[in-house]
Amino acid sequence: MAINVLGGPLKACSHRPKTGFYRDGCCRTGEDDRGSHTVCAVMTSDFLAFSRARGNDLTQRVPRAGFPGLKPGDRWCLCASRWQEAFDAGEAPPVVLEATHQRALEVVALESLLRHAQLEGAH
């Protein structure tokens, strides 16, 4: 069973749009997930602009990859290193702790995630 950053069972991040490295709605990870897509983040316009400026435009659809394009309010499993980069730049989006995999803690401090926590029911 996958564990979240709070030590409980990992909850789903989003099924609409379907997220996760394995596109199962959860921020699960494995050996083949080199980017560690473990942070369940709630997209904001500021973060989407930040990511676009860093060369990863998450708002653009990529149908052949099954990527719908994201908008503010969508939940998405981000790479832990991208979330940390955004945090360092003051642009980190809110996170859903119950849906953020414990392996994110290999890159991101729990204190940082706690400071950006969004309540589970708020989406």
DSSP 55-85: T--TTS-BGGGTB----TT-EEEEEHHHHHH
12 touches 26 (CB < 8 A): yes
Q: Is 47 helix (H, G, I), strand (E, B) or coil?
A: helix
Residues with Cβ within 8 Å of residue 23, at least 6 apart in sequence: 66
pLDDT at 122 over 70: no
Q: How large a percentage of the chain has pLDDT more than 90?
A: 89
Residues with Cβ within 8 Å of residue 48, at least 6 apart in sequence: 58, 59, 70, 71, 72
pLDDT at 71 over 80: yes
Please name which of 74, 68, 78 lies closest in space to residue 21, comparing C-alpha atoms.
78
| Per-residue pLDDT, 66 | 78
Q: Does domain 1-122 sit in CATH 3.30.56.110?
A: yes
pTM for the structure as a whole? 0.93
Domain map (residue ranges) of the chain:
1-122
Q: How large a percentage of the chain has pLDDT more than 70?
A: 96
Token look-up 């897509």 returns 37
